Structure 1
Amino acid sequence: MPVFLFWGEDDYSMQRAIADLRDRTLDPNWASFNYEKIPPDQDDAVIQALNQAMTPPFGMGQRLVWLANTTLCQRCPEDLLAELERTLPAIPEETVLLFTMAGKPDGRIRSTKLLQKHAEIREFGSIPPWKTDLLEKRVKQVAQEVGVKLSPKAVTLLAESVGNDTRQLYTELEKLLLFAESQGGTVDEAAVLALVTATTQNSLQLAEAILRGDTGRAIALVSDLFNRNEPALRIVATLVGRFRTWLWVKLMVESGERDEKAIAKAAEVRNPKRIYFLQKEVRPVSLQGLRESLQVLLELEMGLKQGANERIWMQSKVIALCQLFSRTGIR
């Protein structure tokens, strides 16, 4: 199929897929003649892309036409829709036409339905930080791609350390590959502890300090994360994931549930054996404190997205969270 639609917020994974598609499509000696990237702010970008796609390639290889950051699947005027309906079924096999966008295509509009019929669609979404099973699955997939053999504990620790940062995952696995080639064998938990920059792990430590109401420790961890250039919104995402898990565990326990598998399913915890430890963590904490913490975290996220000073805003809300658990969090 010569038409592709890539969408999602994981820009690093998408760019790797685009590079792979480009390498498979173009002859290196003729790439400058047969490759066209059309930005969304260019006049008549969609029409230009369709016209280029219908133009036979020069020399060897195929032609690649990339319509970047298009809004075609969010809104599409009738005249453009008519051009798409006329052109997409006629795209020659010698051409690859690629559409990319960050947002999810609107499945209700006709242009999206048309692309669903004529294009190969691939999603590059960021995995929520609390979905540990998906994060570990992603680690295994990329490790296999890079050529690194990881022990089960190394997989878990690496997923906890890098979270949903795909760029860092590739960087750390390439580092571990060099280690494996020099040492031989499977990369174990000790190697990951020694070599991987655990920014997400520090965010998890921040969550634990907040839960204990340890303001000094929490502020020190915030400073450490910012000194490591960890994005503020990524810190918040990790905090939200951890407090969401704690809240679900507490809710299930307070409702009288004792089955660890049922609690794990509700809290989206892959390994039911973790529930024992999570129960111990939330036992001295009130349900009210956990509920209110998510509201504070929402305020933190909204302020960051609206342009607040990241370090000052993060510190103020972390202090508020610590005070919350000092006041209401502990029974």
Structure 2
Amino acid sequence: MPVFFYWGNDDFAIAQAVSAIHKQVLDPAWESFNYDKISPEQPDGLVQGLNQVMTPPFGSGSRLVWFVDTILGQRCPEEVLLELERTLSGLPVTSVLLLTARSKPDSRLKSTKLLQKYAEIREFSLVPAWKTDLIVKQVRQVAQELGVKLTPAAVERVAEAVGNDTRQLYNELEKLRVFAGRTKQPLDEAAIAPLITTTTQNALKLASAIRQGQVALALELVAELLRHNEPALAIVKTLVGQFRLWLWVKLMLEAGERDEAAIVEAAELANPKRLYFLKQEVQFLSSTSLLRTLPLLLELEASLKRGADELATLQTKTIELCEVCQGRG
């Protein structure tokens, strides 16, 4: 199928998929003649790109036209819709049309229905930071793809280290692939510990310190994360995910749910054994306290996005969060 629509907020995964098409379609010797990258800022770029993709390629290889950050899945002027329909229905086999966007295409639009008919549509969205079991699953999949053998404990360690950062996941696993060489035995947690960057793991340690009201330790972890150039918003994302997970488990327990399978399913835990530890972690916290952490985390995120000083803002909110978890906030 010579039409592809990739959407989602995982920029690294989309870039990899685009690169794969680029290598598959284009002959490097003729690339400058057969490759067009159309940005949304280009005047009449949509129509020009659709006309260009109908042009036979020069030399060997195929022609590739890439609409970057396209609006066709969100809005489509009538004149462009007519051109799109004409193009998709008669696209030469020697041409490939690639469209990428961050937003999900609106299924109500005629342009989206056309794309659904003619294009391969794939989602590339980051795993939510709080869905740690899905992150573990992603680590397993990418490790298998790259030929990196890991023990279950090592998989968990990598997941903690990279979180939902796809780029870092590939970087860390590529590092482990080179380290393993031709070793046939799976790498265990002890073997990989000195090699992987553990900023996300430290963000989870920060969440744990806040949960226990350990102000001094929490502030030390904040400073350490920033010293290692961990983005403040990434820290907040990890905190939000962890506190949401704790809240979800606590609410179900307080509601009288005793069926562990039901809690595992509701919390989307791929590893049921993890529920035991989550129950221990929320044992001395009330759902009221956990609920009060979320507005504070929202305020923290909003302040950082407005350009507030990262260290001072994280320190202030960390203290407030610790006090809430201690029942004093």
- Fold match (TM-score > 0.5): yes
The aligned residue for residue 100 of structure 1 is: 100
Which residue of structure 2 lines up, in the alignment, with residue 202 of structure 1? 202
Deviations 1:127-171 (A, max 9, x none): 011222321221122112222111122112211211110111011
- Show the counterpart of 1:154: 154
AA at the equivalent of 1:269: L
Question: 1:270, CA displacement in angstroms?
Answer: 2.0
Deviations for 1:170-208, whole angstroms, at most 9, x for unmatched residues?
Answer: 110011011110655211121222211111110100001
SS state at 1:327 partner = coil
User: Residue 127 of structure 2 aligns to a residue in which SS?
Assistant: coil
Distance in structure 2 (CA, Å) of the matches to 1:262 and 1:38:
48
Q: Is the Cα–Cα contact under 8 Å of residues 288 and 328 in structure 1 kept in the other structure?
A: no
2:37 aligns to what SS in structure 1?
strand
Could you list the per-position Cα deviations for residues 17-75 of structure 1 after superposition, in whole angstroms to 9, with x for gaps in the alignment?
11110000011211111111111101111011101101100000101111111112111
**1:75 & 1:192 partners in 2: Cα distance?**
48
SS at match of 1:293: helix
TM-score (norm 2): 0.96
Provide the rounded CA distance (Å) in 2 between the counterparts of 1:287 and 1:120.
44
C-alpha distance in 1, partners of 2:310/2:65? 39
Give the whole-Å Cα distance in 1 for the aligned partners of 2:120 and 2:4.
5
Name the residue aligned to 2:239: 239
Distance 1:43 1:78 in 2: 16
Please name the residue that 2:283 is paired with.
Answer: 283
- Conserved? CA contact 1:7–1:124, under 8 Å: yes
1:11 aligns with 2:11: yes
Choose 319-328 or 102-111, whichever is displaced more. 319-328
Deviation (angstroms), 1:221: 0.8
| Equivalent residue, structure 1, for 2:316 | 316
The equivalent residue for 2:177 is 177
Partner of 2:230: 230
Query: Which residue number in structure 1 is paired with residue 221 of structure 2?
Result: 221
- State the distance in 2 between where 1:15 and 1:23 align: 12
Conserved? CA contact 2:134–2:270, under 8 Å: no
Query: Counterpart amino acid of 2:39?
Result: P
Which structure 1 segments of 5+ residues have no match? none
Aligned positions, number:
329
Separation of aligned partners in 1, 2:116 and 2:301: 34
1:8-47 alignment runs, 5 A limit: 8-47=8-47
Contact 1:130 1:268 in 2 (8 A): no
Deviation at 1:303, TM superposition (A): 2.2
Percent identity over paired residues: 58
CA RMSD in angstroms, aligned pairs only:
1.5
Counterpart contact for 1:5–1:122, Cα < 8 Å = yes
Q: Give the superposition deviation at 1:252.
A: 1.6
Structure 2: distance between partners of 1:20 and 1:125: 18
- The one-letter amino acid paired with 1:225 is L
Aligned partners of 2:89, 2:229: CA distance in 1, in Å?
A: 47
2:194 counterpart SS class: helix
- Following superposition, the deviation at residue 266 of structure 1 comes to 2.0
| Match in the other structure for 1:307 | 307
Q: Which moved more, 1:103-112 or 1:253-262?
A: 253-262
Partner Cα separation in structure 2 for residue 210 and residue 263 of structure 1: 24
What secondary structure does 2:100 align onto? strand
Q: How many angstroms does 1:259 deviate by?
A: 2.5
Q: Distance in 2 between matches of 1:189 and 1:328?
A: 38
Secondary structure of residue in 2 paired with 1:195: coil
Residue identity in the other structure for 2:30: W
Task: Give the equivalent residue in structure 2 for 1:266.
Answer: 266
Question: How far apart, CA to CA, are the structure 1 residues paired with 2:310 and 2:237?
Answer: 14
- For residues 56 and 33 of structure 1, the distance between their equivalents in structure 2, rounded to whole angstroms, comes to 11
Report the TM-score, using the length of structure 1 for normalisation.
0.95
In structure 2, the residue corresponding to 1:197 is in which secondary structure? coil
Deviation by residue 1:57-115 (Cα, 9 ceiling, x = unmatched):
00001011111111121111111111111211111000011111111111121111111
The aligned runs of 1:19-168 (5 Å cut-off) are 19-168=19-168
Say if 1:161 and 1:196, in contact at 8 Å, map to a contact too. yes
Indicate if the aligned counterparts of 2:63 and 2:96 stay in contact, CA closer than 8 A. yes
Contact 1:204 1:239 in 2 (8 A): yes
Give the distance between the partners of 1:191 and 1:260, measured in 2 at CA: 34
